Amino acid sequence: MWDYTDKVKDHFLNPRNVGEIEHPDGIGEVGSLACGDALRLTFKLDEKKRIQDVKFKTFGCASAIASSSALTEIVKGMTLDVAEKVSNQDIANYLGGLPEEKMHCSVMGREALESAIANYRGQKVTKEDFEIVCKCFGVTDREIIKAIRENDLKTVEQVTYYTKAGGGCAHCHPKIEVLIEQVRKEMEKEKPLAKPERKKLTNIQKVKLIEETLGREIAPALKADGGDIDLIDIEGNKVYVALRGKCSFCHSSEVTLKQYVETKLREFVSEDIEVEEARP
Amino acid sequence: MRTVYVDNNATTRVAPEVLEAMMPYFSDYYGNPSSMHFFGGQVAKQVNEAREKVADLLGAEPSEIVFTSCGTESDNAAILGTLDSYPEKRHLITTRVEHPAVGNVSTYLSRKGYHVTELSVDREGRLDLDELRESFSDQTALVSTMYANNETGVIFPIEKIGEIVKEKGIPFHTDAVQTVGKIPINLKKSTIDMLSLSGHKLHSPKGIGVLYIRKGTKFSPFLIGGHQEKGRRGGTENVPYIIGLGKACELAKNHLEDENTRVKALRDYLEQKILEKIPNTLVNGDPVHRLPNTVSVSFEYVEGESILLLLSDLGICASSGSACTSGSLEPSHVLRAMGVPFTAAHGSIRFSLSIYNTKEEMDYIIGHLPPIIQRLRDISPFWYDYLKSQGKKSS
């Protein structure tokens, strides 16, 4: 029997947001009957372009259903720019972790979201644009590379756990090995020089922490002066915000951003955060 | 929470009579059957009586019974022990639907340079005997096919297979782990040379098995050691478990009729009600040549692990041939070999009954299964598509 967390069991037994939105703004479909799991995600945006409603239908095991349910809970209320940063680790963390063999369920969630957002934006991501590495499960090099990067994968077995690639006839194992070596070399080069770091945050944890800090530590002070602040986007360590109310015409807004907002975010979230004003 | 145990092809409850028979051999009669003194001698006598009971269930001679540690050991010993006896022959014939205790030995042998023929099965899980006839070569050392399939319960025409094999003068082994105790076997009038069984599938504990080796069959020991089991399997006898298996075989002989009437009727009732109450459901495997206790059903457009966990939540213990339950990514090799379509292969559930099951338990399952399948279908995108294609409205 799998060692599922209580959160996984809860989201499997009481899945949130099951269904299909009629006339959705975006729809994403991944997986197939043959592969043993599939997910159809639909969402609708509100006038502020935030995800107002999101629903899923999933064919698959308990962890696939729980991952889909978790995904919908995570992205509700997010703008698409924020939602597209949700990683499979965020989904797994939300559930208190998944057995490693089942991590592909969280990846399926992330892929469905990506595909739904692309659908909304009118982009078409087709498998034909990439090389299919695993023919048994139709997994492309792009998907494998992304999984290696996001999850710091080291072995073919892990790649199989996360993407299913290599889980059938095993003929693609040498190709996967080459991909792992390539990607890990690139990752090694990109590594910044060692510096003291606090607990590594996942994207979603970071987004949440920034939101919380803005709401709890920063906005009240600005409101007291008749202003306000909105989070617009987050790109790596760059946080784009818009100052509202009185703050938007204030001459010292630049100073407010750098000395007040940035300092607070560095204190509560991460030392390398940079705050920029979002240009309309 | 109540427990409704319908996973008896995985393992069975130890019969209370078996446990009772075993207990004194842990505490009072701990002698070594090989010892010269009376204290060991009395144990040796009981071990031989147990051997007679096993032989009696199989219609074999007591001297043809070799006690092992499990079904897997019996299978390994039969295959590797035979190949060792015919070192010049490098070909093995088996099937695509074997238990891993045989299937993975084949894979291992292929890597070692042996030639292995795996016979295919049809949509109902049946062998094509003409394919067997065409598979022999002068290199063939052994034919090993299971007696009945653990997942579907499909019974192979074992005597017909044996006749074909015997015409060629080649030894014939069968993995009968799922068969012994469920249908009558008489090895006196059989073409079987070697047969594997496992104690825990017939209400004795885990950790005891038997390899039947017909008198005159060439065999090299797999476990090399002392003179035990007439030199065919080294290692001090696992006395309490041997006594337990003897008792279990005695009980099994008495229960064979119950197994093939009452248990079979319960299985048929369960199967019929499931098919009646749940649409888009099919039974896997030959419905006629099938163990009386087993049914494998596939529910289209849903996945097996999810079904099992929802059943488990209600205390119902079954198993599945779906990919996700095993940690592998593909559905069971048995269902794939049979060509069960993917719409159904991932949603297969096996119910396997025993003499301890009751009609009330079947009704409990029948009452709870339809809403479980409906609930998962309501979440499944394929069910929705299917209904749309049928012009029906999703519920």
CATH number, position A108:
3.90.1010.10
Region B326-351: mean pLDDT is 86
d(CA A257, CA A46): 28
DSSP assigned state of A279 = P
Residue B340 forms part of a structural domain: yes
The domain boundary residue, chosen from B228, B252, B276: B252
Query: Same domain for B123 and B225?
Result: yes
| CATH number assigned to the domain comprising residue B302 | 3.90.1150.10
Q: A154: helix, coil or strand? A: coil
Domain boundary among A134, A167, A192: A192
Q: Of B205, B234, B252, which residue is a domain's last?
A: B252
Average pLDDT over residues A149-174: 89
Distances (CA, A) of B154 to A88, B261, B284: 42, 18, 9
Beta-carbon neighbour count of residue B210 at 10 Å?
31
Domain harbouring A146, CATH code: 1.10.10.1100
Lowest mean pLDDT, pick from A3-17, A87-101, A199-213, B356-370: A199-213
The structural domain count of chain B equals 2
Same domain, B260 and B248: no
Given a contact cutoff of 8 angstroms between Cβ atoms, the answer to whether B10 and B352 are in contact is yes
* B177 and B286 housed in the same domain: no
Tell me what pLDDT residue B395 has.
47
* CATH at residue B236: 3.40.640.10
Q: Which residues of B belong to the active site?
A: 324
Examine the predicted complex and report whether its ipTM is higher than 0.90. no
Last residue of a domain, one of B220, B252, B284: B252
Residues B32 and B72 in one domain: yes
In tens, the pLDDT along A96-120 reads 999 988 999 999 999 999 999 999 9
- Residue A59 is nearest to which of B328, B331, B380, comparing CB atoms? B380
- Selected for mutation to probe chain B from A39, A55, A61, A157 (highest B CB count within 10 Å) is A61
Owner of token pair 């797994």? A92
Task: State the pLDDT at residue A180.
Answer: 92
Q: What is the pLDDT of residue B256?
A: 94
What confidence category does residue A201 fall into, taking pLDDT thresholds of 50, 70 and 90? confident
- Shared domain check, B266 and B224: no
Residue with tokens 């023919």: A135
CB B208 within 8 A of CB B70: yes
Nearest to A183 by CA among A137, A158, A147, A157: A147
Q: How many CB pairs under 8 A join A and B?
A: 78
Give yes or no: residues A1 and A112 share one domain.
Answer: yes
Of residues B207, B244, B252, B248, the one with CA closest to residue B23: B244
The answer to whether residue B120 is domain-embedded is yes
Question: Chain A neighbours among B 357-376 (CB < 8 Å)?
Answer: none
Cα–Cα dist B222/B209, whole Å:
14
pLDDT digits (tens, 9 = 90+) for B25-41: 999 999 999 999 999 99
For residue B395, tell me if it sits in a domain: no
Q: Do B306 and A101 touch (CB under 8 A)?
A: no
In a domain, A197, yes or no: no
* C-alpha to C-alpha distances, A97 to A67, A154, B50, nearest whole angstrom: 10, 19, 50
Question: Using the beta-carbon criterion (under 8 Å), do A168 and B384 form an inter-chain contact?
Answer: no
A102 and A65, same structural domain?
yes
Distance (Å, whole) CA B304 – CA A241: 47
In whole angstroms, give the CA distance from residue B351 to residue B355: 14
Pair A59, B347: CB distance under 8 Å: no
Q: Indicate the SS3 state at residue A148.
A: helix
Q: A101 with A184, same domain?
A: no
Chain A from 208 to 227: CB within 8 A of any B CB: none
How many angstroms separate the CA atoms of A40 and B382, rounded?
Answer: 10
Cα separation, B288 vs A244, whole angstroms: 77
List, for residues B153-193, the tens digit of each pLDDT value: 999 999 999 999 999 999 999 999 999 999 999 999 999 99
Classify the C-alpha dihedral A161-A164-A168-A172 as positive or negative: negative
**Could you give the CA distance from residue B98 to residue B105 in angstroms, rounded to a whole number?**
10
Q: Which of A36, A40, A104 sits opposite B381 (nearest CB)?
A: A40
Chosen for mutation from B310, B324, B325, B395 (greatest number of chain A CBs closer than 10 Å) is: B324
What average pLDDT score do residues A211-229 get?
Answer: 84
My answer on whether A169 and A229 are in the same domain is no
DSSP string, A117-149: HHHHTT----GGGS-EEETTTTEEHHHHHHHHH
For the segment A12-39, the average pLDDT, to the nearest whole number, is 92
Q: Are residues A130 and A186 in the same domain?
A: yes
User: Which of B331, B378, B384 is nearest residue A36 as measured by Cβ atoms?
Assistant: B331
Answer whether A167 sits within 8 Å of B322, measured CB to CB: no
Please tell me the distance from the alpha carbon of residue B123 to that of residue B283, in angstroms, as a whole number: 11
Choose the final residue of a domain: A122, A152, A171: A122
> Rg of chain A over CA atoms, in angstroms?
20
Q: Is residue B133 part of a domain?
A: yes
Statement to judge: residues A135 and A184 lie in one domain: yes
- Looking at the structure of chain A, the number of domains it has is 3
Within a 10 A sphere around the Cβ of A198, how many other Cβ atoms? 8
* pLDDT higher at A32 or A40: A40
- The string of pLDDT tens digits covering residues A8-20 is 999 999 999 999 9
Task: Check whether residue B208 and residue B67 sit in a common domain.
Answer: yes
Question: What confidence tier does A251 reach under pLDDT thresholds 50, 70, 90?
Answer: low
The per-residue pLDDT of chain A, averaged, comes to 87
A162 touches chain B (CB under 8 A): no
Token pair for B169: 């003068």
- Based on the fold, state whether residues B196 and B272 are members of the same structural domain: no
Q: What percent of chain A has pLDDT over 70?
A: 94
Q: Rounded CA gap, B38 and B282, in Å?
A: 60
Environment class of residue B189 by beta-carbon count within 10 Å: exposed (0-12), middle (13-18) or buried (19+)? exposed
- Structure-token match 């991501």, residue found: A125
Q: Structure tokens of B139?
A: 């290199």
- Which among A192, A213, A244 is the end of a domain? A192
| Helix, strand or coil, per DSSP, at residue B36 | coil
Based on the fold, state whether residues B240 and B349 are members of the same structural domain.
no
Residue A233 and residue A149 share a domain: no
**Is the same domain home to B226 and B290?**
no
The answer to whether residue A218 is domain-embedded is: yes
Does the residue A168 lie in any domain? yes
A95 shares a domain with A4: yes
pTM of the model: 0.82
Give catalytic residues of A, as residue numbers.
35, 105
Q: Are B81 and B180 contained in the same domain? A: yes
Structural domain containing residue A177: 126-192
Residue B383: domain span: 4-9+256-389
Q: What is the pLDDT of residues B304-324, one digit of tens each?
A: 999 999 999 999 999 987 766
Between residues A2 and A247, which one has the greater pLDDT? Answer: A2
Do the Cβ atoms of A36 and B378 come within 8 Å? Answer: no
Rounded to whole angstroms, the Cα distance separating B343 from B3 reads: 30
Mark yes or no for CB contact B330/A167 under 8 Å. Answer: yes
Torsion of CA B46, B51, B56, B61, to 10 degrees: -130
- B-contacting residues in A 43-82 (Cβ below 8 Å): 57-65
Do residues B287 and B367 share a domain? yes
**Does residue A9 share a domain with residue A116?**
yes
Same domain, B107 and B242: yes
